[in-house]
Amino acid sequence: MPMNFSKLFLMSVLVLSALVVVAGCEQEQKKSQVATPKPEVEPPSVPPELKGTIAEYAVLIDGGYVQVEGYSMVVGLGDKGRAEIDPQIKAYMVEYMRKNKVNWGSLGTGDITTDMMFRDPDHTIVRVRGLIPPGALKGSRFDIDISALPNNQTASLEGAVLMPAELHRFLNGAPPHGAGTSALAMGAGEIFLNPFLDPTKESDLPKLRSGRIIGGGKVGSAGRVLIQLYYPDMGKCERMASRINERFPGKEKVAVGRSQQLLELYIPEEFKNDYDHFTMLVMHLPMYGTGGNVNKMAMNVGEMIEQPTQRHEDLAMIWEAIGRNALPIIKKSYQSKNELASYLSARTGLRLGDTAAADVVLKFATSENSPMQIQAIRELGKHPKIIRAEGTLRTLLDSENEMVRLAAYESLRSRGDPIVRTMRIGDFEVDLVPTKRDYVVYATQTAEQRIVLFGANMPLQKPMFYKDPSEIVTINANENDKNVQLMRKLPRSGGYTPWLKCNFAVASLIAIMGTPAGYDDDGNPKGLGLSYGQIVGILKRMCADKSIPAKFVLQPMPTLQRITEGATGTARPDVGSSTTAPVIGN
């Protein structure tokens, strides 16, 4: 299939993002200054179906994924931390702690001096990296990667907690010029390690020195999202802004002209969590919105979408960008013999408010051999008002295909279906999902911390004995026991908690492991205080040794979140849902 044109015009940002121009195109002015324009760059040729859309005349400039980096201290290592640290990084950390009056004691390190902290094997300094997504709003969250410093002998980051870290634009390993300067985001939280790592295998030991904090980054200020015309043109700039604002009306303008060549976009409230979708619609919007022109374009899309060699997603996006006026034409393709044309037209109709299209999407959601099945299931999750989808999605929880089961669960959860019961435990959640199929334990590793039990009453086996490879947790039950016993090794002292008891439900085990350590009103111990990452690792190993009669499945990592060493940031890619398969254990 030809490359989606969305990718082509967005890739050109690398060349064009340096072009900014002097303010002067519209009545509204911005206080910040823009630079004198550089010579225009020859625009890329566009395929026939995108002629007349904004993509023909302009390129999206949103800064791309911004790589950020910083340094901070982690605590909770027991005796696994080491003090080796580059003098420049140490100087930065001391300055950061002084300028920000950091009270490490309130975060669990006790009343100790700075020098004592650097020497304490319970602590170490780490490098923190992350990717701020394009269009990220102030306060929005993103994942961050954590790694021990190259010349530091820290053995493992298991169970560690990152203290607040300033995240600056990519530093290429160098410390920031000064604490508190130019920080784009902050990072903190519990570190998650890959649960498939085995600390008894020598080949896995180096990998224990790195992990991630799910949703641990917090954006400090929103980035600008711009549209730049290929050539300065006052009239075209004004027309483009007007066209975008006509399509996305509201109290505040979505598009504001900043010069003869530059527009600034503001994300509408309904698209706050769907930035990519919104920008794609904008770039596929026809420039001239009069009835005859739009109808002709909509009919042309209807003809081309039936052809096997076309850019079908681009075509469907044009329909959606046109809006409800295109529905009479879109409906004609619902029953197309071309499966892709049928699905995309129905999906577009549903997004534009035609509930009749739901029947077609439902048909694809239940079509086991259709390549559109997973897409259709996920689409139904975005439309909670389609009540008849509820029964279909619940039935799919019992599919033989695990990908289908996961997609059905995610859609039901998005719709707020009460069949998915949620337990809040510390900083993470556990979803209990009924199913008639085999038990599955599913764990997330990006965006949010969540464990899903397919089988709401999933039991532990007995008799059973589990001891973690790092000896953090011991779990034991004999054949005739009414309860499971478990205890935790304390990281700093090396001592153990008292034995705690819970019933044989896996959900109860998770609850007691994740509940903060302490005592109830009667003086009984009430939790082990394990982190989300530690619990996920324990569940994975218990599934492997059959203590839990379930398959363990780890959420796939989106490719863009695998941060590579030395990356300098790129223009915004055409991002979609990850197609990587989940990592499945025994």
pLDDT by residue (tens digit) across 405-430? 999 999 999 999 999 999 999 899 99
Q: How many helices (H) and strands (E) does the chain have?
A: 17, 22
Mean pLDDT check: name the lowest of 172-186, 294-308, 482-496.
Answer: 172-186
User: What does the mean pLDDT of the chain come to?
Assistant: 83
Answer CATH for 356-419 from 1.25.10, 2.60.40, 1.10.3210, 3.30.70: 1.25.10
Helix, strand or coil for residue 541?
Answer: helix
Closest CA to 452 of 428, 425, 432, 427: 432
Q: Token match 């009306």: residue?
A: 249
Q: What is the predicted pLDDT for the residue at 81?
A: 73
Among 18, 33, 32, which residue's Cα sits nearest to residue 63? 18
- Asked whether the CA dihedral 401, 378, 54, 8 is positive or negative, the reply is negative
Least confident of 74-78, 340-344, 381-385, 390-394: 74-78
DSSP 158: T
Q: Cα–Cα distance between 298 and 305 in angstroms, integer? A: 11
Across 95-201, the runs of DSSP E, i.e. the strands, are 124-132, 141-148, 161-169, 183-190
Which residues partner with 59 through β-bridges? 228
Nearest by Cα to 219 from 142, 129, 127, 128? 142
Q: Centre a 10 Å sphere on the Cβ of residue 416 and count the other Cβ atoms it contains.
A: 8
Q: Domains of the chain: which residue ranges?
A: 5-63+224-288, 66-219, 289-353, 356-419, 421-555
Under 8 Å between Cβ of 428 and 189: no
| Secondary structure of 329-359 as H, E, C letters | HHHHHCCCCCHHHHHHHHHHHHHCCCHHHHH
Q: Cβ distance 364 to 396 under 8 Å?
A: no
pLDDT of 103 > 90? The answer is no
Say what the pLDDT of residue 585 is: 60
Count other Cβ atoms within 10 Å, centred on residue 438: 13
Please state, in angstroms and as integers, the Cα–Cα distance from residue 428 to each residue in 122, 364, 510, 569, following that order.
24, 33, 11, 31
Q: Which of 123-137, 285-299, 449-463, 513-527 has the highest mean pLDDT?
A: 449-463
583, 553 Cβ separation under 8 angstroms: yes
- The pLDDT score that the predictor gives to residue 135 is 81
Q: How far apart are CA 64 and CA 18, in angstroms?
A: 13
| Six token digits for residue 446 | 């990006």
Distance of alpha carbon 408 from alpha carbon 376, whole angstroms: 10
Say how many CA atoms lie within 13 Å of 343 toward its Cβ.
21
Structural tokens at position 254? 């979505």
Question: Which whole-number Å values give the CA distances from 293 to 84, 262, 299, 325, 345, in the listed order?
Answer: 68, 25, 10, 12, 20
169 close to 67: Cβ distance less than 8 angstroms:
yes
Judged by average pLDDT, the poorest of 74-88, 383-397, 453-467, 532-546 is 74-88
Residue 440 near residue 456, CB atoms below 8 Å = no
Higher pLDDT, 397 or 35: 397
Mean pLDDT of all residues in 385-413: 96
